[in-house]
Structures are given as structure tokens and as C-alpha cells.
């Protein structure tokens, strides 16, 4: 067992001031695409107010329609590798993934925006999605982001934020008045934005750490259920991004750097589970857990292959957060069922559309290249 501290949990929450409103106005559209689309499901919103179809329609309205691509996190690249479990997770969960041994993984790195050909310099959130595939036929899918918390607590808030951060055609930027009105109605978003905008920003995908944001429950062989969040913590040394890093003519500089790094050898992340205690919020992804919570290092994710999105790889995987093996269960966070429903709608739409080659292409793709 090791004590890894989630970077997000070390930040102090400062009193909300008007500078936060300026920050939200500047990056509202980016934060609105932090994770994949959320929508009504399971009865936590009144029927007729919001559906997964309306949510996806809103993303298409904001970002445009790009047939064949995800409606959010549209620009990405596929990777594969494996997870070596050290067995430490076995005391928390009976999932076979946490038994000592190796499990294949399929993954995807992406930038959190709904435009598949956007320049990397215009993005501020990066994501890593993984599908763990043990030999018993079960599967665990998880989508993680390099931010410490999410910006809203439920699907309606997400939808309202998305509309508030929509660019004004006259300026190409969000309307500050609409953003302010949203923030005034959602103080939890203002607090979350302080953590999101203050987080350390790495130079690329390889040295970033990614967080589940939502809480889940691990169930062990004795039936004990434990609230958890998890992170993939980069083994690659953290290097902060400089202000001028994105000032490049290479619109794919983040992905090109990842391709070049993998050409030199595999990349690794430690899978770290944060154990919640009574009173820790499991239904509110805007609130971090205390920094002193137990952190259990359960193994290492190794990525050793990268390829452009195409048939039969990560392009065709719906990273539904509710695809869980026996031993991992959803918490009471309403965003989980919302994400699942909206992911399904997005997947169904793009599955029936003609595919366009991804912006990110890998020359001489192969093992370790």
C-alpha cells in the first residue's frame, strides 16, 4: 500500500470573487465538455424537461454536427496495453481485475471538446478512457479527466452550463451576462472552477494524471461495500506547461508528442484508489474528498501501442461508466446514470454515420510506435 495524494485534494478553496466569473466566461465552452454528455435517466429529472436526445442535440448545436465522431471528446487516438494488478485491491473488491495478475486494456486519449479537427492549443482538459478486459469475459470501462472535480452536480446543471457557455455568433465567445447568470444560480460551480483553473497543467498526455471524478463502490468477497474514487497517476515525471507551449503551428502538438514518446518506449500510470469515509460526498462530483483519505496503489497500467481511430479499435468502444464487473458498483451520484444514457445516444448516432478519418494519424504505427 502506498500513500499517493490526489493533486486536486491539496488545493485550498478561496472565497468566490468576480475573477472566477471572468475565468468561467473565458473557458466556459471547454469546461462544458469536460466529460461526455449527460442526460436524463432514472427519474432524477422531470420527464419532458431534459432527455439524452436533447442533451446530444445541444452538443451538436454548440459544436456543429461531425458525422461519425463522438459528440464530445471528439478528437482522440487509440492505445492498447495491459494492467498489472499487485493484489492490493483484493481486500476492497472481489473483481477479478484486482486479483494479482495481468489484464489487457484498450484505451483512448482525447481532448475535451466536441470538434474533431480543433487545434490542441484551444483545449484545456485532457482525458483518458480505459476498458479493462479480463479473461472471464467481464469488462470495466472508465473515463477519466485531468481535472480534480467536475463543474456541476447533475444533468440539468450540465445542460444549463452548456447553453450558458455557447459562443455568441457576434463575438465568437460566451456571453458574459449568461455565464454570470449561470454562476449566480450555481455557487457549487464557482467553487469547483477554482479547483479546476488552479490545477497544475502538464506538458502533455504522458505526464498528466487522470481522475474518475465520480464516486463508485467496491464490494469485496465478504460483501463489504466501500465508497471510492480512483486516479491513474503518471509515472512519467510531471513537467508544468509553459505559457507559450501552445503557441505552435502544429495543431496536433499534444498528440504528436504522445506518439513520439511512445516510439521511445511504453508509458505507465499507477492505478490509485482513494477510500472514502462516512460523510464524504458520493453524490456530488464538484466536491473533493479530504486530502488525508487512504490511498491504495492497486497496480500499474502500461500503454505500449498507439494507432489512429479506425474499425475494431477504440473508435467503436462506448466508454459507458456503468459497464462494471462484479465487485464494482455505481454510487448514488446522479451523473453516472446520466452519462450512461447520453453515451448510448451519442454512440447510436455515430455508429450509423459515414466515418471520416481522424485528425490524428500515426506514421509507421506499431508496437511501441
The string of pLDDT tens digits covering residues 305-364 is: 999 999 989 988 989 999 999 999 999 999 898 887 777 777 677 777 788 888 999 887
Q: Express each pLDDT in 92-104 by its tens digit.
A: 999 999 999 999 9
What's residue 16's pLDDT? 38
pLDDT band at 267 (very low <50, low <70, confident <90, very high): very high
Q: Could you give the angle at which helices 18-31 and 155-164 cross, rounded to 10 degrees?
A: 100
- Average pLDDT over all residues of the chain: 82
Inside any domain, residue 326: yes
Do β-strands 210-211 and 216-219 pair in parallel, antiparallel, or remain unpaired?
unpaired
Question: Over the Cα atoms of the chain, what is R_g?
Answer: 19
280 forms beta bridges with none
Inside any domain, residue 357: no
Rounded average pLDDT over 99-115: 92
Take residue 250 and report the three cell numbers written for it.
Answer: 502544429
Angstrom distance (rounded) from CA 214 to CA 367: 33
Inside any domain, residue 322: yes
- What is residue 240's DSSP assignment? B
Higher pLDDT, 288 or 154: 288
Residue 170, domain extent: 7-351
All residues at 6 or more sequence positions from 90 whose CB lies less than 8 Å from its CB, including other chains: 98, 99, 100, 220
Angstrom distance (rounded) from CA 148 to CA 237: 19
What's residue 160's pLDDT? 86
Contact status, residue 234 vs residue 208, Cβ threshold 8 Å:
yes
The pTM of the full predicted model, rounded to 2 decimals, is 0.83
Residue 293 CA, chain-centre distance (Å), reads 22
pLDDT band at 246 (very low <50, low <70, confident <90, very high): low
What's residue 120's pLDDT? 86
Inside any domain, residue 213: yes
Work out how many domains the chain is built from and give that number: 1
Handedness of CA 189, 231, 29, 48 (dihedral sign): negative
Inside any domain, residue 165: yes
Inside any domain, residue 363: no
Inside any domain, residue 362: no
Low-confidence winner among 7-21, 182-196, 201-215, 352-366 (lowest mean pLDDT) = 7-21
Angstrom distance (rounded) from CA 369 to CA 365: 5
Rounded average pLDDT over 184-189: 92
What's residue 17's pLDDT? 41
Rounded average pLDDT over 10-23: 37
Rounded average pLDDT over 4-28: 39
Q: What is the CATH number of the domain that holds 170?
A: 2.40.180.10
Catalytically active residues are 73
Do β-strands 295-307 and 225-234 pair in parallel, antiparallel, or remain unpaired?
unpaired
Amino acid at each position: 500500500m502506498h500513500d499517493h495524494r490526489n493533486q486536486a485534494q491539496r488545493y485550498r478553496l478561496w472565497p468566490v470573487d468576480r475573477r472566477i466569473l471572468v475565468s468561467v466566461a473565458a473557458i466556459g465552452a471547454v469546461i462544458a465538455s469536460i466529460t461526455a454528455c449527460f442526460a436524463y435517466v432514472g427519474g432524477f429529472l422531470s420527464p419532458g424537461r431534459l432527455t439524452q436526445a436533447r442533451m446530444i442535440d445541444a452538443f451538436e448545436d454548440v459544436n456543429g454536427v461531425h458525422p461519425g465522431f463522438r459528440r464530445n471528446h471528439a478528437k482522440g487516438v487509440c492505445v492498447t496495453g495491459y494492467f498489472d494488478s499487485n493484489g492490493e485491491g483484493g481486500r476492497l473488491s472481489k473483481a477479478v481485475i484486482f486479483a494479482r495478475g495481468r489484464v489487457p486494456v484498450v484505451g483512448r486519449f482525447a481532448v475535451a471538446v466536441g470538434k474533431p479537427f480543433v487545434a490542441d492549443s484551444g483545449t484545456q482538459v485532457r482525458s483518458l478512457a480505459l476498458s479493462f478486459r479480463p479473461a472471464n469475459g467481464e469488462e470495466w470501462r472508465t473515463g477519466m479527466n485531468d481535472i480534480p472535480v467536475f463543474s456541476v452536480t447533475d444533468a440539468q446543471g450540465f445542460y444549463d452550463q452548456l447553453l450558458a457557455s455557447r459562443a455568441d455568433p457576434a463575438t465568437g465567445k460566451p456571453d458574459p451576462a449568461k455565464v454570470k447568470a449561470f454562476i449566480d444560480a450555481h455557487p457549487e460551480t464557482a467553487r469547483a472552477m477554482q479547483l479546476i483553473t488552479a490545477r497544475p497543467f502538464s506538458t502533455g498526455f504522458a505526464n498528466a494524471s487522470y481522475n474518475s471524478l465520480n464516486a463508485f463502490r467496491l464490494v469485496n468477497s465478504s460483501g463489504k461495500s466501500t465508497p471510492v474514487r480512483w486516479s491513474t497517476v503518471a509515472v512519467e515525471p510531471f513537467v508544468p506547461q509553459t505559457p507559450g507551449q501552445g503557441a505552435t503551428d502544429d495543431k496536433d502538438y499534444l498528440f504528436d508528442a504522445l506518439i513520439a514518446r511512445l516510439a521511445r518506449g511504453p508509458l505507465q500510470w499507477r492505478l490509485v484508489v482513494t477510500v472514502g469515509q462516512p460523510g464524504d460526498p458520493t453524490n456530488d462530483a464538484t466536491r473533493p474528498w479530504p486530502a488525508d483519505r487512504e490511498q491504495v496503489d492497486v497496480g500499474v497500467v502500461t500503454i505500449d501501442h498507439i494507432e489512429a481511430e479506425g474499425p475494431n479499435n477504440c473508435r467503436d468502444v462506448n466508454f459507458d461508466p456503468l459497464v462494471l464487473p462484479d465487485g464494482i458498483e455505481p454510487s448514488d451520484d446522479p451523473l453516472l446514470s446520466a452519462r450512461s444514457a447520453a453515451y448510448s445516444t451519442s454512440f447510436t448516432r455515430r455508429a450509423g454515420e459515414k466515418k471520416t478519418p481522424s485528425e490524428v494519424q500515426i506514421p509507421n504505427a506499431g508496437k511501441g510506435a
